């Protein structure tokens, strides 16, 4: 590829790149002259369309010293797709800004906006950020409106799903959905709201505070926070409690003030759904305590903590092996390892599935441990005596069943030891 040309045809960046994935985009790339005025418009449209068709969750436009790299995040993993001359970067980012109704002349500040023009029904959001060599842009693609509508469609374990559906009928308390970024927390929260709307219709007032609103939900009063105007989560939540709501979705608990306001809402007769960044459910309890939330509030206010992760599902081309090196220390008889074929674009995986754990802090044994300021490991041990299963144990079960591989579990969970031995899923956070 010539570095001096205004653009070049997309190419695979290294030998490990799935050829069929890069070829899929190359076939869809615009055939017009790269020097023509309409080339960038067609290129951006092609990138958005192809990424959506490939099931990408994000498109990265990463600019370096000499080239612009385009990468898609497929099933949680970034895949290099194409490379272009760095000189094309300003035009591509400007086109994305126009589509998102952002300021094209401001390249020195981060900007965010929703793409207003799309060739598919997938919702998209743009984020730009100034870097040493120019603006980096990332487009987030959300699941189409017809997918993951209800909790029953999320693929949660049957016994856990049944308990979650029962919790949605509670009239007060907090249900926290935890996990790292990209683990599907917001998707689960929206599915819970849709279930409440389906179950109760206009019989319950459903309201949200979000940053930003990612999906429009019929029958739900949704509000975006505006920090520059002083309208943050805590301020908005205090005002919402005067709006006579039955259920409140708070997009995320980020600080002590928001956490305190959430628990105040729980104690005044509201069911609150929210997301929270934590490696596992027990860690969420500890971190809320570190924020200054009193143990009695955690004991009486928290109805449940759902922690979830997404693991890639092995393609049919995966092969069984009993090699110890392939087990990566897991105590299992055999494992399936990815091979790669045309059906999985050479990655060895097709799609993802959820693993989850559900902790009930309001149970007598766990609640007493929280009130006694027990350590997280002790709380987890007591919870497991009551049948609590960690995401680590569920991951090992998925390895045993051949649904996923040890490599994928290590990548997502960062397990340092076999959870079957330690009875604890250690996470790097």
Report whether 27 contacts 50 (CB < 8 A).
no
pLDDT at 11 over 80: no
Flag whether 91 is in a domain.
yes
Band (pLDDT 50/70/90 cuts) for residue 123 is confident
More confident residue, 189 or 419: 189
Would the pTM of this model clear 0.75, i.e. be above it?
yes
pLDDT at 119 over 90: no
What's the mean per-residue pLDDT of the chain? 87
Choose among 162, 315, 37: nearest CA to 154: 162
Choose among 361, 198, 215, 181: nearest CA to 289: 361
Name the percent of the chain lying above pLDDT 70: 88
pLDDT at 18 over 70: no
Sheet holding 247-250, edge to edge: 221-224, 206-210, 247-250, 271-276, 173-178, 302-314, 349-359
Tokens coding 57 = 């969750």
Query: For residues 22 and 47, what is the distance between their CA atoms, to the nearest angstrom?
Result: 11
Flag whether 95 is in a domain.
yes
Report whether 73 contacts 56 (CB < 8 A).
yes
| Domain tally, the chain | 2
For the segment 272-291, the average pLDDT, to the nearest whole number, is: 92
355-376: per-residue pLDDT in tens?
999 999 877 889 899 988 888 8
Q: What is the pLDDT of residue 126?
A: 95
Band (pLDDT 50/70/90 cuts) for residue 326 is very high
Q: Could you tell me if 45 and 111 lie in one domain?
A: yes
Q: Could you tell me if 37 and 152 lie in one domain?
A: no
Flag whether 162 is in a domain.
yes
pLDDT at 33 over 80: no
Q: Could you tell me if 55 and 157 lie in one domain?
A: no
Flag whether 251 is in a domain.
yes
Q: Could you tell me if 120 and 147 lie in one domain?
A: no
Q: What is the pLDDT of residue 19?
A: 56
Choose among 256, 215, 214: nearest CA to 232: 256
Q: Name the burial class of residue 108, with classes exposed (0-12), middle (13-18) and buried (19+) by CB atoms within 10 angstroms of its CB.
A: exposed
Flag whether 188 is in a domain.
yes
Among the ranges given (10-19, 101-110, 157-166, 387-396), the one the predictor scored with the smallest mean pLDDT: 10-19
277, 295, 318 - which closes a domain: 277
Q: What is the pLDDT of residue 2?
A: 36
Q: Could you tell me if 71 and 150 lie in one domain?
A: no
- Could you tell me the residue range of the domain that residue 106 belongs to? 19-141
Q: Could you tell me if 151 and 251 lie in one domain?
A: yes
For 180-242, give the DSSP string.
STTSSHHHHHHHHHHHHHHHHGGGS-EEEEESS--S--TT-EEEE-BGGGTB-HHHHHHHHGG
Query: For residues 296 and 368, what is the distance between their CA atoms, to the nearest angstrom?
Result: 10
Flag whether 252 is in a domain.
yes
Kindly report the CATH number assigned to the domain that includes residue 77: 3.30.450.90
For the segment 398-402, the average pLDDT, to the nearest whole number, is: 97
Q: What is the pLDDT of residue 147?
A: 63
Q: Name the burial class of residue 279, with classes exposed (0-12), middle (13-18) and buried (19+) by CB atoms within 10 angstroms of its CB.
A: buried
130-187: per-residue pLDDT in tens?
999 999 999 999 865 556 689 999 999 999 999 999 999 999 999 999 999 889 999 9
245-260: per-residue pLDDT in tens?
999 999 999 999 999 9
Choose among 321, 345, 297: nearest CA to 402: 321
- Look-up of token digits 């730009």: 128
More confident residue, 227 or 99: 99
Q: Could you tell me if 148 and 260 lie in one domain?
A: yes
Tokens coding 97 = 């800004």
Inter-residue long-range contacts of 71-75, CB under 8 Å, 24+ positions, other chains counted: 72/21, 74/21, 74/345, 74/347, 75/310, 75/312, 75/347, 75/349, 75/351, 75/352
For the segment 329-342, the average pLDDT, to the nearest whole number, is: 93
Band (pLDDT 50/70/90 cuts) for residue 6 is very low
Q: If DSSP codes are grouped into helix, strand and coil, which group holds residue 393? A: helix
């Amino acid at each position: 590829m010539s570095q001096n040309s205004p653009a070049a045809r997309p190419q695979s960046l290294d030998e490990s790149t799935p050829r069929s994935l890069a070829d899929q985009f190359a076939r869809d790339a615009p055939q017009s002259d790269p020097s023509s005025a309409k080339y960038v418009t067609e290129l951006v449209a092609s990138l958005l369309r192809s990424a959506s068709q490939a099931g990408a969750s994000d498109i990265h436009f990463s600019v370096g010293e000499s080239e612009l790299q385009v990468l898609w995040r497929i099933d949680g993993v970034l895949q290099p797709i194409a490379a272009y001359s760095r000189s094309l970067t300003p035009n591509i980012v400007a086109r994305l800004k126009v589509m998102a109704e952002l300021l094209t002349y401001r390249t020195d500040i981060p900007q965010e906006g929703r793409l207003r023009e799309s060739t598919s029904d997938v919702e998209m959001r743009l984020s730009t950020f100034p870097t040493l060599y120019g603006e980096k842009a990332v487009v987030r693609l959300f699941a189409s409106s017809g997918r993951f509508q209800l909790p029953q469609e999320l693929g949660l374990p049957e016994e856990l799903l049944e308990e979650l559906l029962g919790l949605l009928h509670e009239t007060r308390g907090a249900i926290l959905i935890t996990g790292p970024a990209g683990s599907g927390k917001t998707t689960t929260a929206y599915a819970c709201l849709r279930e409440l709307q389906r179950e109760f219709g206009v019989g319950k007032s459903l309201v949200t505070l979000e940053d930003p609103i990612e999906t429009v939900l019929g029958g739900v009063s949704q509000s975006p926070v505006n920090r520059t105007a002083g309208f943050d989560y805590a301020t908005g939540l205090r005002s919402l409690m005067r709006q006579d709501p039955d259920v409140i979705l708070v997009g995320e608990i980020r600080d002590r003030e928001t956490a305190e306001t959430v628990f105040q809402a729980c104690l005044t007769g509201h069911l609150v759904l929210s997301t929270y960044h934590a490696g596992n459910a027990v860690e969420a309890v500890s971190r809320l305590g570190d924020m200054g939330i009193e143990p009695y509030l955690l004991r009486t206010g928290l109805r449940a903590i759902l922690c979830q992760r997404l693991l890639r599902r092995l393609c049919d081309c995966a092969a069984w092996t009993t090699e110890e090196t392939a087990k990566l220390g897991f105590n299992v008889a055999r494992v399936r390892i990815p091979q790669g074929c045309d059906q999985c674009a050479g990655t060895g995986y097709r799609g993802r599935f959820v693993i989850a754990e559900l902790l009930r802090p309001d149970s007598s044994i766990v609640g007493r441990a929280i009130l006694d300021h027990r350590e997280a490991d002790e709380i987890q041990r007591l919870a497991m005596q009551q049948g609590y299963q960690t995401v680590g144990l569920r991951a090992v079960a998925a390895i045993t069943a051949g649904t996923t591989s040890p490599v994928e579990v290590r990548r997502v969970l960062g397990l340092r030891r076999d959870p079957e031995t330690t009875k604890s899923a250690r996470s790097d956070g």
